[in-house]
Amino acid sequence: MSEPAAASPDPFTVFQSWLADASRVELNDPNAMTLATATPDGRPSARIVLLKHADHDGFVFYTNTQSRKGSELTANPRAMLLFHWKTLGRQVRVEGEVSAVAPEEADAYFRSRPRLSRLGAWASDQSRPLADRADLISRLQTLDETYPGEEIPRPPHWSGYRLRPDKIEFWQDMPFRLHDRTVYTADQGSWQVGKLYP
C-alpha cells in the first residue's frame, strides 16, 4: 500500500496545492465550501458558500451581513469551513475566528462582480421571508433603472469575512478506509503538525 507524502510544515502551501488540483478536475466551483456557524446557545447551521481568497491571513468569503450566517457570526464569531473534492477523495476542515474584511477589500471585490450580481445584493433581503418571487424580480428591475450603468455602490449590509484558522485538517482517501488525516494546530505563531487515526 502506498503511503502519503510527508507533511509540509506550512498548511497554506498544502491547501493551495490541493485547491489547484481540484481546479483541474472538479467541473463546477472547486472553491465551494460548507460554512458552519452556530448561535451563542449552540444551535448550528451550515450552507455552501464560495471561497474568494485564501492566504496566510485566512480564508475570505462574501455575503449579506444581515443574513442568518451574518447574524450568527456577529453573535458568535467562530466558524468552520469544509471543502470536499469527491473526485480527488479529499477533504479539508478549517476552524477559527471570523472577522470582517476591510471596507476597501470588500469594495474592490464588489466591483469585480457581474452587474446583475451587484444589483442582486441590493435587491435581496437574504434569509428573510419572500411572499412571491415576482417581488424580487420587481425590485431588481427597479434597481436596474436606478443604476443604469456600471457604477453601483456596495450596499452597507454586504461585505466579506475572513476566517483566520487555528486548526486545519487535511483528509485523504486511502484504500481499505485507512485514510490519511494530517492536522495542523496553531501554537504561538507557528504550526504543530500531527496525524489522526482515520
Annotated catalytic residue within 78, 93, 115, 177:
177
Cell of residue 99, nine digits = 472577522
Task: Answer yes or no: 90 catalytic.
Answer: no
Helices (H), 26-113: 68-75, 103-112
User: If DSSP states are collapsed to H, E and C, what string results for 104-151?
Assistant: HHHHHHHHHCCHHHHHHHHHCCCCCCCCCHHHHHHHHHHHHHHCCCCC
- CA-nearest of 75, 16, 82 to 43 is 75
Cβ-based neighbours of 1, under 8 Å, separated by 6 or more: 174, 175, 176, 178
> What does each C-alpha distance from 141 to 1, 120, 124, 138, 147 come to in angstroms?
59, 10, 12, 5, 10
Catalytic positions, please? 177
